[in-house]
Structure 1
Amino acid sequence: MKFFATFFLPLLPIALGIHEAAAAEQVVLPNVPMDPSRPTSHVRPTLFDLLTIEPSSSIFFSYARELQLSRLFSNVDANITVLVPTNKAVMALARKPHQVPGDTIELSEQEMEERSGKNVERWVSLHIIPESQISLPSRTYPTLVEGRTITFKETKKGSTALEWQRVLVNGDIPILNKKEAINGVLYVIDGTIQAD
């Protein structure tokens, strides 16, 4: 006991001082109100948040994150619909979005990189509808690529399944999941929207 008193008791004021200093400092997290009776500014996640935690479509999100276009996913005012292909669907593509078609032997590395970036931007843009309040059965909507549309066709009329479960995208791509965000809707699809 004498050892404890001589060794640890002198350290007690230091330990208490550190504890009091830590208690005096409060970390305020963003979007966490100080008054619990006051509502938060938004309760749902953004599309960016949903894409971050969607492991089945991480390849699409990896492509999208490299583009300025990805700012739409975190913009709370965006109001878009994103059709997100599964990793399996992207891997099944004969030519991946970043690959440049045709004979490119004579292109410089910079030209290859620019063309690759444009291909990726076009491919991601084909999966985005610039509105979020869409009605799925038998409707066609424009994408972010001028002149390109996406069609939703009902296949299981009279079914008790949810609306999004009863449609195919562009005639043959099933929707596997639907998630709503503060700035739009995300549909996980079992296929990809083809660039050409």
Structure 2
Amino acid sequence: MRERLADVLDQVPSFNIPSIVMPPTASSDDAPMLSDVMGKDRSINIFSGFTRDVDSVAARLNDGSQNATILAPDNSAMHGLPRKPWEDPREYESLGANAYEGADGPSRAQKNLERFVNAHIVPESPWKENHKMQSLAGNTVWYEIKDGKKMLQPGNIEVSSIADKVANGEIWVIKGVLNSA
């Protein structure tokens, strides 16, 4: 005699696994941070690497309570620098060719790199046009719209794109570098 489907199903052991029925919902804690997306755009991978080399910046980019606008120089701008971001011509003048060697050399280089990276971090996002802000390095920066393009001031540096917008800020790709001296 054929059994009814309902009778067969009654004989199958039941398992109480609610996660199979309903997947967990995403919480706001799962929202991507600047640190999660910083290395995503290959056109800024040089600067992106530098942000990981500065502990205070890396921590900020991973902190959902601290918004920021990252002004990330593209790789062409980084290659066009007259010297490495951790080199300071004044230190070469006063200390000579070995300015970044010896016991104090690495800490001098790290301080210079930190100043360079901090000059490209604005502690606000969203950031409004013509709103003057202090970068983390203490430099005053703002942007204007000129001929339909975002231009960073001072220096008239073009923002070529906004690479990403996440919970704690935005990454702007720029076609130059800001003065960090």
Q: Distance in 2 between matches of 1:190 and 1:113?
A: 29
1:66 matched to 2:53: yes
Moved more, 113-122 or 68-77: 68-77
Runs of 5+ unmatched residues, structure 2: 1-20
Correspondence for 2:120: 127
Q: 1:57·1:86 contact (CA, 8 Å) conserved in 2?
A: yes
Pick the aligned partner of 1:168 from 145, 148, 151: 151
2:73 to 81, 85, 89: 85
Q: TM-score, normalised by structure 2?
A: 0.76
Matches within 5 A, 1:135-154: 135-136=128-129, 138-146=130-138, 148-154=139-145
| Deviation at residue 37 of structure 1 after TM alignment | 6.2
The CA distance in 2 between the partners of 1:39 and 1:62, in whole Å, is 29
- Give the letter for the 2:172 counterpart: Y
Correspondence for 2:146 among 140, 152, 155? 155
Percent identity, aligned pairs only, is 26
What is the deviation of 1:117?
A: 0.5
Matched, 1:55 2:42: yes
Give 1:111's aligned amino acid: D
**Cα pair 1:174 1:189 within 8 Å, conserved:** yes
Aligned length: 154
Residue 186 of structure 1 is aligned with which of 151, 156, 171? 171
Residue 132 of structure 2 aligns to a residue whose secondary structure is strand
Q: What one-letter code is carried by the residue in structure 2 that aligns with 1:173? A: I
Q: Deviations over 1:66-101 (max 9, x none)?
A: 111211111122211111010110110102212232
Please name the residue that 1:5 is paired with: none
TM-superposed deviation, 1:109: 1.7
User: Which SS does the other structure have where 2:49 is aligned?
Assistant: helix
Q: Return 5+ residue gaps in structure 1 as ranges.
A: 1-33, 160-165
TM-score by length of 1: 0.71
Q: Give the structure 1 partner of residue 108 of structure 2.
A: 115
Q: Which amino acid aligns with 2:127?
A: I
Cα 1:73–1:35 change in 2 (3 A) is farther
Q: Are the equivalent residues in 1 in contact too, given 2:39–2:49 (CA < 8 A)?
A: no
Question: Do the aligned residues in 2 keep the contact of 1:139 with 1:153 (CA within 8 Å)?
Answer: no
Find the aligned partners of 2:126 and 2:54 in 1 and give their Cα distance: 24
Distance 2:73 2:53 in 1: 17
Distance, in Å, in 2 between the alignment partners of 1:35 and 1:115 is 54
- Give, in whole Å, the separation in 2 of the partners of 1:85 and 1:119: 17
Asked if structure 2 preserves the Cα contact closer than 8 Å seen for 1:42 and 1:182, the reply is no
Deviation at 1:38, TM superposition (A): 2.9
SS in 2 for 1:145: coil
